[in-house]
Structure 1
Amino acid sequence: MEKKLVRLRIRPSRNGRSFAYFLDYVDTNGKRERKSLGRMEPRQAERERARVERELRMGVIAPESMPLSEFVADSLSKTGDQIRESTRQGYAATMREFVSVIGDKDYQKVVLQNGEYYRQYCLDQGNSPATVTKKLKEIKAIFQLAVKRQQLEANPFAYITKPKCPTPEIHTYTDDECRRMVKAAREFCDAVDMRRNARWELLILVALCTGLRRGELCNCLWSDLDFEAHTITVTPKGDTDATWKWCIKDSDSRAVPLTEELTQMLIEHQSRQPEGYPYTFIPPARYDHIQRLRAEGKWTYCDSRTKTVARFNKVFIKILKRAGIGEGEFHDLRRTAICNWFREGLSELEVMKLAGHTSFETTHKYYLKVSDDSVDRARKASAQAMSRSGTLWHAPASSSDIQDGRCAVSAEAGNAYIGP
C-alpha cells in the first residue's frame, strides 16, 4: 500500500462539542508543515487532504489563492510552445475580457454562473453566437488544463451551454467567377510595381490548383517546388539567416500536384526574380523589409502567418470588386479546390491527405456539400408522385382570374404541370 504523504489529524474543541481538522506533511523543501482546516465536514476535510497529497506527489505545492490574471499567465507559461503563438494570444485576449467582466477573483472560486454571466455579456455586446462559442471553448480549455495539472478538482465550465449557431455554408467560387478573378488579378499586376506587389494571378491559380492555405503559399520556398515532378511540398521552415520560422497548421508535410501549364508559369516567374530571394510569392522589396524587421527584433512567429505579403486582404478584396464578385475571401479558393477534387471523383481519404486535414470530419463537410443532391431528388420524387395522382395545376389565365380567386384545374387527368 502506498504511503500517505499527508495525514489528516483531528482535535476536539475545548468544550468537546465539535472537532477541528488539520494536516501534517513535509513540503518539497523538507520542512514540516501543519495546516489548519478549521471546522468542516469529514468528507470535505478528506478531499482537502487528497488535494494536498496530489500536489506533493507532483512535486509542486500550488498556491491556495491566485487571482485569475496570475492564474492565466501561469497556465500559459506552463503550456509553453505546445500551442501556437497566435493561439496563445487568442486565449490571453479572451481571458482578459473574462476577468474584466467577472472581476480578478480567485481562480478556485470561479463557478458555472460566472461563465453564464460572461456568455450573456458577450451576446449583449453584439458578438455572434459562433464568436461566443469560440470564447467559451478557450476559457474552458484553460480551466481544463488546471484540472489536468491537479490545480482544480473539476472544470467549472464543464457543463456550460453554448449559444446555438447555424452551421456555416461552405462558400466556393463558380468557374466563371474564377475566370473573372484571374483576369482581374492579371490587370492589377500590370498596373503596379511587381518588386513591391505579389503576383496575384499566380497566387490565385496555385490556390485553385493545390488548395493551399494562405500561410502555406506565402511561406513557400523555391526549394519546395519540383518542376520535373510538377509538385509543391508543404514543409515547416526553420529560423535561419534567409528564412523565418513557420509551422504547418495540421500535418507535418505533404506534396500536392501542379498542372504542367501552371508549372511553366512558375518557371517563367522564377526567371524574372533576382538572385538571393528564397520565397516564391513574396516580392523582393517586401522580403528586404521583413529582413530588416527581423534584424531589429520586430518580427514574430505570428507575423509569418499574416504579414508576409503586405495588405493581403485589402488587395484581394480589390481584385474581387474588379471581377464583379460581391462576396468571398481568399480561403474560399481552397474550399473551391477541395470541392473540385470531390467532383472529379477523388476519395475522401485522398482529399484528406491533399488538403492536409488531420480530422476526417473536416474533410467530410466538403464531401457532403458536393454529394448532397437531396433537394433535386426530392423535387423529382414529388413531381413523379403528383403525376401518378393525376392532379394537374395550371397558372391563372388572366389577372381577372386572380382577382376572382379562381384557379383553373385541367380536366385532362394523368398529366401534371410542375414548375414554370
Structure 2
Amino acid sequence: MKFDVIAQEWFHSKVGLVKDSTLSAYYQQLRSHILPYWKDMDVESFKKNDAQLFIGQKFQEGLSMKTVKDLEITLKQILLYAVDEHDMNVPTAFKLKYPTANLVSKKEELQIYSLDEQRRIVQYFREHPSYRTLGVVIVICTGLRIGEICGLRWSDISLESNMLQVNRTVERIVDYSTGKTKVVIQSPKTINSQRSVPFPSWLADILISFAAPCRSDYYVISGSDKLIEPRTYRNYYRNLLLNKIGLSRCIKFHGLRHTYASTLITNGADVKTVSTMLGHSTVSTTLDIYTHSTLESRRKCAETILMK
C-alpha cells in the first residue's frame, strides 16, 4: 500500500480521539512535510535509513529541532498504524541520530521588556483604563500565553486569594475538513498548563473595580461575553505599545511571558517554581529557554560570597 493511503487512514482514525488543535497540527504536518516526501512510497519497503534521510533534509530546510522531532513522532504513529491495522512488517522502534543542538541553529536571544518599559505600560493603563489594556498588564504579572489571556473569564479569578486559574485557551487553527481557519476554545494543551497563578496585591485592587460590573462568565479582556481571538488581540497589543504608549519597539506578545519569567528568575525565584507558574511540562524546558536569566541569577549569588 502507498504511504499516502495509510497516512490518510491514520489521520481519520484520530478524529474524535484528540483535540481539534492536535488534528490541525497533524493536518499541517502531513500537508507540508510528510506527504510531499513519502506520498508515493510503498510502506512495506520502508527502512530506518529512509527516516534518517528524511530528518536530515528537514534540518537542511531550516526546521527547528522540536519541529523535526515532532515529525518523527507522527511518522512513527503512521507506521505503527500500518503494523496494527494492516499487519505490515515495517520497523517502528528505530532510534534516529540527531545533530547537536548548536549545529542545527543558533538560539535567538530572548527579547524582554526593560523595567522602565513595563512601568510605562502600567502607567498608561492607570491613566487610560480599559479591559483590553488590562489584559496586557495581567500577562506582565502572570506570564499567561496569548490564548490563555483571551480565554480568561472572571470566574477564573479569585480576588480573595489573589490567584487566577488557567482553565481554557483560545486558538485559531486550520480546519482539516475545509482547509480554512477557525477559532476554537478548549482546555490547555497539557495538564501542567492547567494551573493556578498568583498575582500581586496591587493588581488585585485594580481587578476589583473592573470585575464589579461583569458577570462571572464574561471574558476579562472584553468585559463582556464577546470573545476576542488571539489574532485580533495581537493587533491591538502592537497598536497599543507603538501608537498609544509610544514605545520605540514592540516585541512579540510572547515576549511579555518571557519578561515575566526572566524577572522572576533574576529576582531569585527557583526554577521549579517558575516552571510551575509558566505551566511547562518539565523544569528542563524552563532551564533551556531561560539559560541567560539563570546565569544572571547565579552571578548575583556569586557576588554575595564573603560579603558579610
TM-score scaled to structure 2, two decimals? 0.73
Match in the other structure for 1:143: 75
Tell me what 1:348 maps to.
271
Q: Residue 93 of structure 1 is aligned with which of 24, 28, 34?
A: 28
Tell me, what secondary structure is at the counterpart of 2:104?
Answer: coil
**C-alpha deviations, 1:12-32, integer Å up to 9, x for none?**
xxxxxxxxxxxxxxxxxxxxx
1:175 to 115, 127, 142: 115
Matched, 1:248 2:188: yes
Structure 1 residues 82 and 320: alpha-carbon distance in aligned structure 2, compared to 1, 3 A threshold: farther
Is 1:268 equivalent to 2:189 in the alignment?
no
2: distance between equivalents of 1:90 and 1:316? 26
Task: Give the letter aligned to residue 62 of structure 2.
Answer: S
* SS at structure 1 position matched to 2:197: strand
Partner Cα distance (2:25, 2:217) in 1 = 32
Where 2:186 maps in the other structure, the secondary structure is coil
Per-residue displacement from partner, 1:143-198 (whole Å, max 9, x unpaired)? 322454535532498426567112332322111121233456678x67xxx7xxxx
Q: CA RMSD in A?
A: 3.6
Output the amino acid matched with 1:85: D
For 1:257, the equivalent position in structure 2 comes to: 198
Shift of 1:309: 5.0
Deviation at 1:229, TM superposition (A): 1.2
Give the corresponding residue for 2:148: 216
Per-residue deviation, residues 363-397 of structure 1 (Å, max 9, x unmatched): 223553223249989xx9xxxxxxxxxxxxxxxxx
1:228 maps to 160
Q: Match of 2:40, as an amino acid?
A: D
Match of 2:239 in 1: 318
**Corresponding position of 2:177:** none
Q: Deviations over 1:132-151 (max 9, x none)?
A: x4553233112322454535
Report the CA distance shift for 1:96/1:104 in structure 2 as closer, same or farther (over 3 A). farther
The 2-side partners of 1:117 and 1:143 are apart by 10
> Secondary structure of the residue that 2:247 maps to in structure 1?
coil
CA separation in 1, counterparts of 2:162 and 2:263? 19
Q: Which amino acid aligns with 2:29?
A: T
- Residues 286-330 of structure 1 deviation map (CA, whole Å, 9 limit, x = unaligned): x45x6xxxxxxxxxxxxxxxx635612222222332333435111
Unaligned stretches of 5+ residues in structure 1: 1-64, 238-243, 291-306, 381-420
Shift of 1:280: 1.7
Give the alignment partner of residue 328 of structure 1, picking from 232, 243, 251. Answer: 251
Q: Give matches, 1:48-87, under 5 Å.
A: 65=1, 67-80=2-15, 83-87=18-22
Task: After TM superposition, give the deviation of residue 90 of structure 1 in Å.
Answer: 2.2
1:308 equivalent in structure 2: 229
Q: Residues 358 and 99 of structure 1: is their aligned pair in 2 closer, same or farther, counting only changes over 3 Å?
A: closer
Q: Among 90, 101, 105, which residue is 1:165 paired with?
A: 105
Cα pair 1:339 1:370 within 8 Å, conserved: yes
Distance in 2 separating the partners of 1:280 and 1:152? 54
Output the amino acid matched with 1:248.
P
- Equivalent residue runs for 1:285-300 within 5 Å: 287-288=225-226
Is the CA contact (8 Å cut-off) linking 1:182 and 1:205 kept in structure 2?
A: yes
Q: Which runs of 5+ in 2 are unaligned?
A: 170-183, 304-308
Alpha-carbon spacing, 1:245–1:117, altered in 2? closer, same or farther (3 Å): closer
One-letter code aligned to 1:372 = L
* Alpha-carbon shift at residue 234 of structure 1 (Å): 1.9
Matches of 1:375 and 1:359, distance apart in 2: 21
Asked whether the equivalents of residues 271 and 287 of structure 2 are also in contact (C-alpha less than 8 Å), the reply is: yes
Counterpart contact for 1:181–1:320, Cα < 8 Å: yes
- In proportion to residue count, which structure has more helix? 2
- The answer on whether the counterparts of 2:121 and 2:137 sit within 8 Å (CA) in structure 1 is no
Match of 2:287 in 1: 364
- Equivalent pairs counted in the alignment come to 274
CA distance in 2, matches of 1:226, 1:181: 24
Greater Cα shift, 203-212 or 147-156: 147-156
Alignment-mate amino acid for residue 229 of structure 1: S
Q: Distance in 1 between matches of 2:3 and 2:74?
A: 11
Q: Is the 8 A contact 2:168 2:188 kept in 1?
A: yes
